[in-house]
Amino acid sequence: MVSLFIIIPFVLAAFLPLIEKVSKRFLPDLLTNLAILFLLIYSMTFGYQVVASHSGIRHFQWFNQNLNIVFALDGFSLFMLFAIYLVSFGVTLFSIDYMEHYGSKGIFYALFMIMVGGMSGLVLATDLFTIYVFLEVAAISSYGLVAYGLKHDELEASFKYLALSAVATAFLLLGIALIFSITGSLKLGDIAERFFKEDAKFIMYICTGFFIFGFGLKAALVPFHSWLPDAHPSAPAPISAMLSGLLIKVSGVYALTRIFLNVFGLTPAVSTVLMYLGIISILVGAVLALGQDDIKRMLAYSSISQVGYIILGFGAGTSFAIMGALFHILNHALAKGLLFLNSGSVEHSTGTRDLNKMGGLGKRMPITAATTVVGSLSVAGVPPLNGFWSKLFIIIGLLQARAYGFAFVAVLASIITLWYYIIIQRRAFFGKLKETLQNVKEVPFWMALSTLLIALVCIIIGIGFPVVISKWITPAVNILEYGIRYAMQYLRL
Amino acid sequence: MQELYLISLCALVFFSILAVLLKDLLKAALSLMAASVFLAVVLFFMKAYYAGVFEISVVAGLITVLFVSTIGLTRGDDFKESKLPVYIFPLFFIWFIIIDILIMYLLLSKMPPLTKWLPESGKFGDVLWQKRTFDLFAQIGIIFAGVFSVLALFRKRDKND
């Protein structure tokens, strides 16, 4: 059942606070990890079969009555689900030890599962308003999760995130309302057909502007990025990993891509806007990351830069660029998730995120240091790690599109990325161990295991990238390349 | 009926501006809630029943609870409210109405007549229970998220808290 991708997270979330009354730590940890592992395996087996057999559109029934609940599990949504569950599994494993001192694990996991359920619903939705509602489900749970530490900075960051998200929401709703008033439907296929058949270019461009603003803010694209460097570093490390690795991509990039490539169709004007937004984000994010002393803020600015690569790839619109952008969603989710978890490990062991107060930690925290190297090199795009291939595809795609200037800047920014990741390595893990850090120890078992597993996945994907491309990326590329014809043919229910 | 609609629209704009200009965060949050309620009324007038229900339950309800909780937890000493809004309101309001009329005129003159498409309409019950069931499930998720977020904000971290 396709609906299990949404039902399992929500049902478990509803019961977790009650389960916490029975067992404060063991049962919430166990059930959440098992649920996410099940969803990961389920997406890899059942989900893959559904997509392979082209039977991904499902009506939900109750006693043989259609309930008007329609899911569409296609190559693109399955790829996103796979990325969501893969990173989430690493994060929930890490949370077993990391969230011990935060208290109320049941509520933490409940919010976490609602966020996962919201993201799953968003990628399975076939209706514009449903996309918006699930986007809000994920967003509201993430406000609570960002503030979870209850310190001043965390509450302030959550408030800022909430306020700016509300602005994004207003623009999205305005766009949705305008589309509804013109087309009389909110179903993606209907909208695609009516915009295609009728001359409504003017309204389509207004909606495009609203959506670029709304989803661009959710994706933290420059110039809508100001909330991210406060919100993501302030959250507990597992949540930073989820927000930076997944949420900005699902609620920003996925929604934007689905609408622009499958519903509106990628016109040359929109393509140009997306490419410029992408390249500006790449440069601004990379340059701002260079000047940071807080390890998490540096990673947050890096996320802005990397999302720029993804948008640049989708904006270019060629096969290779779309393939690279999709692959970069997965690779960046894994590598940035890993780096945020490692920053949590460093903070957990040293009590600081300030790079000026660190040095020589590699001697005391060898696993964290080694996995940080893997994550850093992957994000920077060093071969043979996974991040290299996705960036390579994006750059080949840009060359295919004859966007030579964009390709040149993308390569240049990759070098800047490598530079600031080397700074993290040098200042935190290499050199002489500081006296204040003499008693630092490696992180507990589950935290170390989680980062090791994600680092291993980064390496395996880097080496075995052709398998990932053929099995997971190509079906998604086909759907996006099929453009509005796909929505008109399959998303009209 | 038309007068009520116009009054709601004016109140929506008034409370929205108030939410932006008030220095006291609590009052700003309450103004935002009032604006949301009037927006919901406007949506009901426009027969967008389900959008109105979502606006009231999610924005006026849950979001306000989150705002007020966060302000309650982080609030420092009280301070005197600035009198600036009193002078700015009328000017801002007039400016807004002029811009609004200009934009609406521009939009309406260029809006293509696609009236042949039948909108998703009907009574509130039909829309919520038969036409948009999936959103109802998502709204349950939103309510859970809001409740658990409030629980997380007011939880005890350890025995000493």
Taking only the tens of pLDDT, chain A with its 493 residues reads 777 888 899 999 989 888 888 887 788 899 999 999 999 999 988 888 887 776 656 655 554 555 566 778 888 899 999 999 999 999 999 999 988 888 788 899 999 999 999 999 999 888 888 888 889 899 989 998 988 888 888 888 888 888 888 888 888 988 888 888 888 788 888 888 888 877 777 888 888 899 999 999 988 888 888 888 888 778 888 998 998 888 888 888 999 999 998 888 888 888 999 999 999 999 999 888 888 888 888 999 999 999 999 999 999 888 899 999 999 999 999 999 999 999 999 988 888 888 888 888 888 889 999 999 999 989 888 888 888 899 999 999 998 888 888 899 888 888 888 888 888 888 888 878 888 878 888 888 999 999 999 999 999 999 988 999 988 899 889 888 888 888 887 776 6
Provide the token pair at B133. 């069931």
The answer to whether the bond into A223 is cis (omega within 30° of 0) is yes
What is the Cα gyration radius of chain B?
A: 20
> Among the residues of B22-132, which ranges form H helices?
25-45, 49-54, 64-74, 84-110, 124-126
Choose from A140, A159, A203, A239 for mutation: most chain B CBs within 10 A: A140
Residues of B whose CB is below 8 A from A158: 70
What is the 8-class DSSP label of residue B118?
A: P
Residue type, A111: L
Provide the token pair at B76. 């420092």
Contact A321, A260 (CB under 8 A): no
Place of tokens 């689905």: A258
Q: Mean pLDDT over residues B78-100, rounded?
A: 66
More confident: B76 or A284: A284
Beta bridge partners of A58: A71
Give just the sign of the alpha carbon dihedral A239, A243, A246, A247: positive
**3-class DSSP state of A2:** coil
Are A182 and B114 within 8 A, CB to CB? yes
Contact A459, A374 (CB under 8 A): yes
Q: Structure pTM? A: 0.81
State yes or no: pLDDT of B152 exceeds 80. Answer: yes
Contact B146, A111 (CB under 8 A): no
Shortest Cα–Cα distance, B62 to chain A (Å): 9
Choose from B22, B47, B134, B159 for mutation: most chain A CBs within 10 A: B134
Ordered DSSP codes for A430-489? SSSPPGGGTT--PPPHHHHHHHHHHHHHHHHHHHTHHHHIIIIIHHHHHHHHHTHHHHHH
Q: Mean pLDDT over residues B114-126, rounded?
A: 54
Mark which residues 353-392 of A lie under 8 Å from B by CB: none
Whole-number Å distance between alpha carbons of A415 and A418: 5
Whole-number Å distance between alpha carbons of B14 and B2: 18
Closest Cα in chain B to A112: B145
Choose from A107, A123, A145, A146 for mutation: most chain B CBs within 10 A: A107
Place of tokens 């977020």: B149
Whole-number Å distance between alpha carbons of A362 and B67: 42
> So what's the pLDDT on residue A117?
92
Give just the sign of the alpha carbon dihedral B103, A218, B148, B131: positive
Residue type, B62: L
pLDDT tens-place string over residues B32-48: 888 988 888 888 888 77
Are B138 and A134 within 8 A, CB to CB? yes
Whole-number Å distance between alpha carbons of A18 and B152: 14
Please indicate if any CB of chain B lies within 8 Å of the CB of A32: no
Provide the token pair at B31. 């103004």
> So what's the pLDDT on residue B115?
47
> So what's the pLDDT on residue A130?
85
Contact A183, A195 (CB under 8 A): yes
> Among the residues of A63-200, which ranges form H helices?
75-98, 105-124, 128-146, 152-183, 188-197
Whole-number Å distance between alpha carbons of A402 and A182: 36
Cα torsion for A121, A122, A126, A127, to the nearest 10°?
110
What is the Cα gyration radius of chain A?
A: 21
Cβ contacts from A onto B, under 8 A? 153
The 3-state DSSP composition of chain B as helix, strand, coil percent (nearest 5) reads 75, 0, 25
**3-class DSSP state of B120:** coil
Place of tokens 């959550």: A158
Q: Which of A415, A431, A454 is nearest to A40 (CA)?
A: A454
Residues of B whose CB is below 8 A from A180: 119-120
Whole-number Å distance between alpha carbons of A375 and A335: 5
Please indicate if any CB of chain B lies within 8 Å of the CB of A46: no
What is the 8-class DSSP label of residue B110?
A: H
Closest partner residue to A200 (CB to CB) among B73, B114, B144 is B114
Residues of B whose CB is below 8 A from A198: 112, 114
Whole-number Å distance between alpha carbons of B22 and B16: 10
Closest partner residue to B155 (CB to CB) among A104, A117, A125 is A104
Q: How many residues are given for chain B? A: 161
CA angle A12-A123-A180, nearest 5°? 115
Contact A250, A333 (CB under 8 A): no
Please indicate if any CB of chain B lies within 8 Å of the CB of A155: yes
Beta bridge partners of A62: A65
Q: How many Cβ atoms sit within 10 Å of the Cβ of residue A177?
A: 18
Q: Which of A333, A345, A138 is nearest to A236 (CA)?
A: A345
Please indicate if any CB of chain B lies within 8 Å of the CB of A14: yes
Q: Which of A304, A413, A429, A312 is nearest to A364 (CA)?
A: A429
Q: How many Cβ atoms sit within 10 Å of the Cβ of residue A171?
A: 19
Residue B98's alpha-carbon distances to A336, B101, B106, B158, in angstroms, are: 47, 5, 12, 56
Q: How many residues are given for chain A? A: 493
Whole-number Å distance between alpha carbons of B15 and A42: 48
What are the φ and ψ backbone dihedral angles of A25, each rounded to 5 degrees?
-120, -55
Residues of B whose CB is below 8 A from A103: 155-158
> Among the residues of A23-74, which ranges form H helices?
26-42, 48-52
> So what's the pLDDT on residue B143?
81
Residues of B whose CB is below 8 A from A130: 132, 134-135, 138
CA angle A370-A341-A98, nearest 5°? 115
CA angle B9-B65-A133, nearest 5°? 70
Ordered DSSP codes for A213-280? HHHHHHTT-TTS-TTHHHHHHHS-HHHHHHIIIIIIIIIIIIHHHIIIIIII---HHHHHHHHHHHHH
Whole-number Å distance between alpha carbons of A36 and A94: 13
Half-sphere exposure of B111 (CA within 13 A, CB side): 16
